[in-house]
Amino acid sequence: MTLMSTTKNSVTTTNHPEPRWPATLALVAIGGLRFALPESLSYGPDWLLLAIIVVLAIPIAFAHRRGLVTLNRILGIVVTSIVTLDMIWSLGLLVSALPAHKQTPVALLQSAAALWIANILVFASWYWRLDGGGPTARELRGVHTDGAFLFPQMTLDQQAKVAMGEQCWNPGFVDYLFLAFNTSTAFSPTDVPVLSRWAKLLMMIQSLISLATIALLAARAVNIL
């Protein structure tokens, strides 16, 4: 596998780097979900979060293309932190508004659905960005053998990997999206054991948010329809 030399604060990349557009699309989708929430559950105008994501996506893409790994990683963590705080803020406002019955049943269901989907996308972004040192570090290793999650492909012996064409397997954003979806629906990682403490903590937070959204919000909305 060929490696390309780069300057300081940059790294070498493989001939088949992981595409970054799925992760970017997930962030844009989170910004779009903001429009499904009532104004009372949002901080600032509806378009604010999406505008922040788009503005930060430009230097993130620039840093990735130039191989500026440190800058790319910092900006990626910043934008992911922003969408996480915005989602938690909206959920807190929604839960606090329940006793006052400020939201109609339809608005409550719509808000709960938007926040549930946002929860999946937000934590999929975190898992993708942090596991194994991040996407660039995973690419450099050529094959994913160590990380916070034990994917089924990692448990195959070398002969099986060669037979399946998975000898250079690396997890992509869809793998982390699948993991986040299972965590929000089954409240467990299902077929992907969790090895790292930070990953366990993140999955606990994701499960709690999903539980609050489904059990407290959606259930109440259905009862008062």
Other beta carbons less than 10 A from residue 183's beta carbon = 27
The SS3 assignment for 19 reads coil
- Tell whether 4 is covered by a domain: no
The SS3 assignment for 111 reads helix
- Tell whether 124 is covered by a domain: yes
Give me the pLDDT at residue 74, please: 95
Tell me, what DSSP letter sits at residue 154? G
- Tell whether 52 is covered by a domain: yes
The tens digit of pLDDT for each residue in 54-109 reads 999 999 999 999 989 999 999 999 999 999 999 999 988 888 877 777 777 778 88
Look up residue 103 and give its two tokens.
């939201």
- Counting as low any pLDDT under 50, the low residues of the chain are 1-15
| Burial class (CB within 10 angstroms; exposed 0-12, middle 13-18, buried 19+) of 137 | middle
Give me the pLDDT at residue 218, please: 62
- Tell whether 12 is covered by a domain: no
- Tell whether 123 is covered by a domain: yes
Question: Look-up: residue for tokens 């938690």?
Answer: 88
- Tell whether 117 is covered by a domain: yes
- Tell whether 114 is covered by a domain: yes
Q: How far apart are CA 118 and CA 186, in angstroms?
A: 17
**Model pTM score:** 0.85
Q: How far apart are CA 150 and CA 141, in angstroms?
A: 16
Note down the domain range covering 103: 21-223
Domain count across the chain: 1
- Tell whether 79 is covered by a domain: yes
